[in-house]
Chains A and B, each alone.
Chain A
Amino acid sequence: MYAWIWRHLPGPLPIRVLQALLLIAAVVALLLFVVFPWVEPRLPFGDPTLE
Chain B
Amino acid sequence: MRLPLLAAFLGMALASLMTFGLTLGEQGRVISSEHDLGVVAYPSGVSACETCHLPHDASGEPLWAQSPHPEGEPFSGSEPLCYSCHDGTVTAGAYAFDPAVAQHPTTPGEAGEHCDMCHDPHVPDYSNFLLFPSGANLCRTCHARSYDTFHTLNVDAIDSGNVPQDGLWDPNAGDISGTRLWDAGGSAPGDNLKCLSCHAAHGAISGDALLTMPYRDEVSTISPLCRNCHD
**Are chains A and B native binding partners rather than an unrelated pairing?**
no
Which residues in A have some Cβ–Cβ distance to B below 8 Å?
none
Chain B residues within CB distance 8 Å of chain A: none
